[in-house]
Structure 1
Amino acid sequence: MTIDILLFRTTLAVYALATGLALADILWRRPILGRHGRILLWSGFTLHSLSLASRYLATGFPPLSSLHESLSFFAWAIIGTFLLFHLRYRLAVLGAFVSPLALVLMIFGSAVSSATAAPPPALQSWWLPVHVALAFLGDAVFALAAVAGCLYLLQERMLKKKKVSSLFYRLPSLQVLDNLNYRCLTIGFPLMTLGIITGAIWADRAWGAYWSWDPKETWALITWFLYAALLHGRLAIGWRGRKAAVLAIVGFALLLFTFLGVNLLLSGLHSYVSLGTL
């Protein structure tokens, strides 16, 4: 077992423990469990960073071209995004809903081949880490927006039915969740846009055309238009609350389909990288 895989599996175990403690905190209202869970999450993120770095040192290529690597990097970006937002906004309770998503990605990543191989010649470019990292960082921010959207709808439903559970008192207010949704949109959308632009430049260098209407390109553009409409709606029309929450969830579902569904169900220029991200 290589050092990067050992670190990956250790990270998975630490994330699982952190997720368990965060959920236990929510279920039994034990803040000390949540604090220990966040300490483990920071520890897991550090181990995860070391895993990605050791993978890079072992292969000589950014760990972004296979399905195993892309799932690992996506999970790393989601956890890192949550931790940064937690430092700024102190929304610890979101960890109980964000960490399971990263954990599922890590479990999926552990189930697929982790064999190392050099990317095809067309992909051996410094545009690879630039394009993919920008795209995944944007996706990670949108993942947090989707979580905020789900919690908004859950809390709104409890208020409308006038049946609140103990979870209700742990959640941020509707206003805070809506503001978080908007903040994620203003950060994630520029990252996604830069990801698409750098991808187009890279495509021209690799395949001689900026845009070829490949399935992944097409679905990425569809997703971009949805988030562009959401941002326009919030800025120009005043969309707030439920509509913004629903669109944030739909947008992230489209992101997941663009990431995994297109590679699994459709063929195209991006499909040959071992079901990876490109």
Structure 2
Amino acid sequence: MMGFTDLLVIITIIFYFLSTASYFAYLFFQKDYLHRLGIYILGTGFVAHTTLIGTTFMHIGSIPAHNLHQTLSLAGWILAGVFLTFQYRFGLRVLGIFIAPLATFTMIISSRLPITPDRLDESFKSFWLILHVVIIFTGEAAFALACGVGILYLLQEHAIKTKKRGFFFNRLPSLEMLDSTGYACIITGFTMVTIGLLSGFLYARSIWGRFWSWDPKEVWSGIMWLFYAALLHERLVVGWRGRKSAIMSIIGFVVLLFTFLGVNFFLKGHHGDFTQW
């Protein structure tokens, strides 16, 4: 028999999928009502997703990140929330064609994985862990948005350089707007990840007795942080903008994905609980 949480998962996926369809329809037909429909549907899906996360939190008594099923769901929820916030702030409508499908795909994969974790570790109830996971995921969601903006920038730049004014030219914002929005995403992501790493150090100290243990996840998180720190440095000091910044944002997201998933699958460490099957 289908439970309440199962129903919430299905409702969330349906709304995220319908939002994806609306955004792609907006990309093709450029009708304002299609964009409004996409954002409203995504917002409704986010409300259902919030209810799911809250229900799971109350049921298990800790942050829902005990296995890959829960971790992906949490990541998809934060991704949708961060996008809605940036959408309200910057109004970059077409970015929904990148974020809505990503949120949908994340939830579909999550729904196909085992739901019940092997064990419920008391350390997952730590305040520092909750702070660490939520803030880190928020920063990574902002980096995901930066990747999406970077892809849109390269598409628009190519359309301008070819001088054919093809499909994307009239459907994407100006290069200046894309560049400034991508920069805002990176600044936000870098700030949040920095705070998240600091809270992670405090959590590690309280659980394992040391701030740093050279765990593969810690090492790759450091590499990711250094990558985006270098990107910001080059932008502010050397003047990296436009194409270079867009390409680096995309590469940075690939590094992020490996840090988020690849490390736990291919390298052993004490962060493996978050992506156990």
Distance 2:74 2:273 in 1: 19
Q: CA deviation at 1:118?
A: 5.1
Q: CA deviation at 1:274?
A: 4.2
Distance 2:3 2:55 in 1: 9
Q: CA deviation at 1:163?
A: 2.7
Instruction: Tell me which residue corresponds to 1:208.
Output: 209
Instruction: Tell me which residue corresponds to 1:86.
Output: 87
Greater mean deviation of Cα atoms: 162-171 or 259-268: 162-171
Distance 1:90 1:274 in 2: 34
Instruction: Tell me which residue corresponds to 2:113.
Output: 112
Instruction: Tell me which residue corresponds to 2:273.
Output: 272
Pairing of 1:61-100 with structure 2 (within 5 A): 61-100=62-101
Distance 2:81 2:119 in 1: 27
CA 55–121 in structure 1, closer or farther in 2 if over 3 Å, else same: closer
Instruction: Tell me which residue corresponds to 2:137.
Output: 136
Using the size of structure 1 for normalisation, the TM-score is 0.94
- 1:136-193 CA distance string (max 9 Å, x none): 0000111111101011011111111223323321211000010011111211111101
Using the size of structure 2 for normalisation, the TM-score is 0.95
> Does structure 1 residue 252 correspond to structure 2 residue 253?
yes
Greater mean deviation of Cα atoms: 159-168 or 216-225: 159-168
Instruction: Tell me which residue corresponds to 1:263.
Output: 264
Q: CA deviation at 1:213?
A: 1.0
What secondary structure, in the 3-state scheme, does the structure 1 residue paired with 2:168 have?
helix
> What letter matches 2:116 in structure 1?
A
> Is the 8 Å Cα contact of residues 221 and 259 (structure 2) preserved in structure 1?
yes
> Is the 8 Å Cα contact of residues 15 and 40 (structure 1) preserved in structure 2?
yes
Instruction: Tell me which residue corresponds to 2:57.
Output: 56
> What letter matches 1:186 in structure 2?
I
Instruction: Tell me which residue corresponds to 1:169.
Output: 170
> Does structure 1 residue 191 correspond to structure 2 residue 192?
yes
Distance 2:274 2:154 in 1: 37
> Is the 8 Å Cα contact of residues 80 and 100 (structure 2) preserved in structure 1?
yes
Distance 1:87 1:273 in 2: 31
What secondary structure, in the 3-state scheme, does the structure 1 residue paired with 2:170 have?
helix
> Does structure 1 residue 228 correspond to structure 2 residue 268?
no
> What letter matches 2:237 in structure 1?
A
Distance 1:145 1:208 in 2: 35
Greater mean deviation of Cα atoms: 84-93 or 133-142: 84-93
Instruction: Tell me which residue corresponds to 1:47.
Output: 48
CA 38–144 in structure 1, closer or farther in 2 if over 3 Å, else same: same
Aligned-residue Cα RMSD (Å) equals 1.6
Q: CA deviation at 1:32?
A: 2.5
Distance 1:67 1:60 in 2: 18
> Is the 8 Å Cα contact of residues 156 and 175 (structure 2) preserved in structure 1?
yes
Distance 1:148 1:49 in 2: 25
> Is the 8 Å Cα contact of residues 149 and 178 (structure 2) preserved in structure 1?
yes
- 1:188-211 CA distance string (max 9 Å, x none): 111101111111111111111211
Q: CA deviation at 1:109?
A: 0.6
> What letter matches 1:41 in structure 2?
L
How many equivalent pairs are there?
Answer: 276
Instruction: Tell me which residue corresponds to 2:102.
Output: 101
> What letter matches 1:134 in structure 2?
I
